[in-house]
Amino acid sequence: MQDKIWLSSPHLSGKELFYIEDAFEKNWVTSIGENIDGFEQDLKKCLGNNEEIVALNSATSAIHLALVMLKVTRDDEVFTSTFSFVASANPIAYCGANPIFIDSEKETWNMCPVALEEAIQDRISKGKKTKAIIVVHLYGMPAKMDEINEIAAKYEIPVIEDAAEALGSTYKNQACGTFGRFGILSFNGNKIITTSGGGALVCHTKEDKEKAVFLSTQARDNAPHYQHSHIGYNYRMSNITAGIGRGQMEVLQSRVEARRKMHEFYVELFSEINGVEVFSEPGSDYYSNHWLSAVTIDPTITGKNREDLRLAFLEDNIESRPLWKPMHLQPVFADAPYYGGKVAEELFDNGLCLPSGSNLSDNDRERIANVIKNFFN
């Protein structure tokens, strides 16, 4: 059996160890220290130098914290993209609130502004008030932020941007993660850079950052003893983990370039094959980090489906994966309201994520190309 080719695996630079050793030497083996400050500074610079970053132990925690800061509580309603990873929706349930799922549009595969506005008006007509909108930038592709922010402003609903997959992506030259009231980043092992596990909350003000640090470190009041007036969380990133992040930030640009090259590789490969489309930016306003490259297969043209292609890859020990199964089809959210049509459902039926790592070799690409050529011949 040949070596496994992964969909997206950690790609370390070697520089991470320098920062980890430094933390060991200074004995900052805890959730404060230079690596946390340094990692937050690196992220701030990367996002355009206007935001305040709070490093946390996961993006899931970051979404939860954003909802807590927006005072989302029991029986509130929160909109989110149906076409996403479950972590975009779970934190809504942590608050005792109810997720309302919104379909995608066909260009970016992200939240459809038309379905969003329909949903808002329908909820208003039912006497409900929506507390927040969680917009996802899927596979690194920026959502239609102008349209979504305009609707959100019209109805005065704060936006949380789930940019877990979109570090390094921009919309109209502005970094994803900076458009909403809060932004969220992930450094899970399969993301464009990793800290082994970790996330960040992007805030616009120092006050919000201070509040998020306070809440993520058990909400301890200013007193010599342990004194608490709020419910807190243990969500802060460790100084060791942040050291990995600092090493990864040194190579983020080259990781983005490598992922974008993988996307170009697929565009070229599939240009000869009718009925397969490679997921690409709809225009020059959009700059995707192409965290994952993905295709949709039209079975009526190709006579093949995405599951057959997945199995063909598997036979050669190559990992690929169907696109996200929409949240409104998940058993756990069976009762949640859903607004939209069949865009996300059709993407799930016909789409496949392909190996996209920044660490793939020419030999890996050759194996991938051979499977694809044989499959469609």
Ligand X SMILES: *Cc1c(COP(=O)(O)O)cnc(C)c1O
Asked if 185 and 245 touch (Cβ cutoff 8 Å), the reply is no
Distance between CA 72 and CA 262 in Å, rounded? 40
Nearest distance in Å: CB 74, ligand X:
23
Tokens at residue 357, please?
């790592």
Q: Is 59 in the site for ligand X (CB under 6 A)?
A: yes
Q: Which of 82, 108, 130, 188 touches ligand X by CB under 6 A? A: 188
- The residue (of 12 and 312) whose beta carbon lies closer to ligand X is 12
Residue 182, CB-side half-sphere exposure with 13 Å CA sphere: 29
* 108 touches ligand X by CB under 6 A: no
Sheet of 77-81, strands arranged across = 52-56, 199-203, 182-186, 159-162, 130-136, 77-81, 98-102, 338-339
**Among residue numbers 190 through 219, which ones bind ligand X (CB under 6 A)?**
199
| Residue closest to 50 by CA, chosen among 227, 206, 188, 187 | 206
Q: Residues 124 to 153: which contact ligand X by CB under 6 A?
A: 136
Residue from the set 8, 31, 60, 169 that interacts with ligand X by CB under 6 A: 60
Given candidates 77, 162, 345, 364, which one binds ligand X under the rule CB under 6 A? 162
Residue 215, SS3 per DSSP:
helix
Q: Does 186 bind ligand X (CB under 6 A)?
A: yes
The beta-strand segments (E) located in 286-356 are 286-287, 293-297, 321-322, 338-339, 351-354
Whichever of 84 and 98 has its CB closer to ligand X, that residue is 84
* Site size for ligand X (CB under 6 A): 14
Site string for ligand X, 319-348 (x = CB under 6 A): ------------------------------
Give the range of 57-65, 101-109, 111-119, 226-234 binding ligand X by CB under 6 A: 57-65
Structure tokens belonging to residue 341: 């049509």
Report the interface residues with ligand X, using CB under 6 A. 58-60, 84-85, 87-88, 136, 162, 164-165, 186, 188, 199
